[in-house]
């Protein structure tokens, strides 16, 4: 839960979301597809 302890004053919720997905990517491989979808949305 490192992403929670790190404050994000800048308006970049996508970074927090990506960090969250990256952290649980090893636990849930299915999030990989979700991560790709988020990348398509953010970029």
Instruction: Report whether 38 contacts 18 (CB < 8 A).
Output: yes
Q: What is the pLDDT of residue 7?
A: 52
Q: What is the pLDDT of residue 37?
A: 82
Q: What is the pLDDT of residue 21?
A: 61
Taking only the tens place, the pLDDT of each residue in 1-43 is 444 444 545 555 666 666 666 665 555 566 677 778 878 876 5
Q: What is the pLDDT of residue 1?
A: 41
Task: Write 24-30 long-range contacts (CB < 8 A, 24+).
Answer: none
Q: What is the pLDDT of residue 32?
A: 73
Q: What is the pLDDT of residue 4?
A: 45
């Amino acid at each position: 839960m490192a992403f929670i302890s790190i404050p994000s004053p800048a308006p970049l919720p996508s970074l927090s979301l990506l960090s969250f997905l990256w952290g649980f990517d090893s636990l849930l491989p299915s999030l990989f597809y979700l991560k790709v979808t988020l990348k398509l949305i953010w970029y």
